[in-house]
């Protein structure tokens, strides 16, 4: 992999220079913004998106609230597992950062001394995006948009090759999808137990949600036996 990166005719390197070349032509203030967005901003946006998705599911309530929240909880867990899986991959491939082997790149962040393949940022954002997509299509599509933007930013910043980003997308997607059935099966009973708690249950559904209304209406239904109707009267 490192040998391929040394070839100037490699399309991976050509695309790196094309995208990073945009940073050279952009104003300095814009590059600073892109550096922050690519390093921290989009990760924060993914967290806020997951919280927004949880809030939406919590307010909607319903009988499937626990399983829906379980799917949302899986999203950040999948991201964490994917990054752990990436640790031995990076150590095995040992691909240097692009600015180590190639001159003239505009590197927008400093302190990147670890290996390049695969991108942790791309892995994190895509794993969370796919996890959210499993839980909720609308929020998942928003997450996928953020993940794609993160991948572009990493190349724009000069800290990753395009194939580093593609590898991160593939790794995040694989972990989030392949482990989703097992994770949901394990997390759903936990969320249902939390839902039954008088206080912690609000983490699953808001007060007055559909699930609560179902319980209340069930408790207030009229007696089915004539004797019970007489007693109720």
Q: What is the mean pLDDT of residues 193-205?
A: 82
In a domain, 227, yes or no: no
Domain span at 154: 2-206
CB 141 within 8 A of CB 133: yes
Q: Which tens digits make up the pLDDT trace of 27-59?
A: 999 999 999 999 999 999 999 999 999 988 888
Residue, of 61 and 226, whose pLDDT is higher: 61
In a domain, 46, yes or no: yes
**Cα–Cα distance, 28 to 34 (Å, whole number):** 10
In a domain, 217, yes or no: no
In a domain, 211, yes or no: no
Residue 41: DSSP 8-state: I
Q: Which domain CATH number covers 15? A: 1.20.144
- Is residue 152 over pLDDT 90? yes
- Ranges 75-84, 95-104, 144-153: which has the least confidence: 95-104
CB 164 within 8 A of CB 118: yes
**Cα–Cα distance, 192 to 201 (Å, whole number):** 9
Q: Collect all residues with Cβ–Cβ distance below 8 Å to 147 and sequence separation of at least 6.
A: 46, 122, 125, 126, 128, 129, 169, 172
Which ranges in 61-207 belong to alpha helices (H)?
Answer: 65-93, 98-101, 120-135, 137-156, 162-178, 180-196
In a domain, 54, yes or no: yes
In a domain, 97, yes or no: yes
Mean predicted lDDT score pLDDT of the chain = 85
- Is residue 65 over pLDDT 60? yes
Q: How many other C-beta atoms can be found within 10 angstroms of the C-beta atom of residue 100?
A: 14
Q: What is the mean pLDDT of residues 150-173?
A: 96
In a domain, 215, yes or no: no
Residue 215's alpha-carbon distances to 56, 197, 202, 209, in angstroms, are 20, 14, 15, 10
Task: Give the chain's domain count.
Answer: 1
- Is residue 66 over pLDDT 90? no
**Cα–Cα distance, 145 to 137 (Å, whole number):** 12
Q: What is the mean pLDDT of residues 159-164?
A: 95
Q: Which tens digits make up the pLDDT trace of 213-232?
A: 444 334 334 444 444 444 34
In a domain, 51, yes or no: yes
Percentage of residues of the chain with pLDDT beyond 70: 85
- Is residue 190 over pLDDT 80? yes
Residue 204 in tokens: 């699953």
Q: Which tens digits make up the pLDDT trace of 120-143?
A: 999 999 999 999 999 899 999 999
Q: What is the largest CA-CA distance in the chain?
A: 90
Percentage of residues of the chain with pLDDT beyond 90: 63
Q: Which tens digits make up the pLDDT trace of 68-99?
A: 899 999 999 999 999 999 999 999 999 999 99
């Amino acid at each position: 992999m490192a040998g391929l990166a040394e070839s100037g005719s490699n399309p991976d390197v050509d695309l790196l220079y094309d995208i990073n070349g945009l940073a050279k032509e952009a104003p300095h203030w814009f590059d600073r913004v892109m550096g922050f967005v690519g390093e921290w901003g989009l990760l924060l946006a993914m967290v806020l998106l997951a919280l927004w998705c949880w809030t939406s599911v919590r307010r909607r309530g319903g009988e499937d609230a626990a399983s829906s929240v379980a799917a949302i909880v899986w999203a950040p867990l999948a991201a964490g597992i994917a990054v752990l899986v990436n640790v031995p991959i990076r150590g095995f491939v040992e691909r240097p950062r692009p600015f180590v082997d190639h001159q003239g790149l505009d590197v927008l962040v400093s302190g990147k001394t670890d290996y390049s393949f695969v991108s942790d940022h791309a892995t994190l954002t895509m794993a969370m995006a796919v996890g959210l997509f499993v839980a909720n299509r609308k929020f998942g599509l928003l997450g996928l948009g953020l993940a794609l933007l993160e991948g572009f930013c990493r190349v724009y910043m000069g800290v990753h090759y395009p194939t580093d980003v593609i590898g991160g997308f593939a790794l995040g997607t694989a972990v989030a999808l392949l482990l989703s059935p097992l994770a949901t099966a394990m997390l759903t009973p936990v969320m249902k137990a939390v839902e039954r708690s008088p206080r912690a249950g609000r983490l699953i559904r808001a007060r007055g949600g559909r699930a609560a209304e179902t319980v209340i209406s069930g408790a207030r239904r009229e007696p089915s036996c004539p004797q019970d109707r007489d007693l109720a009267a």
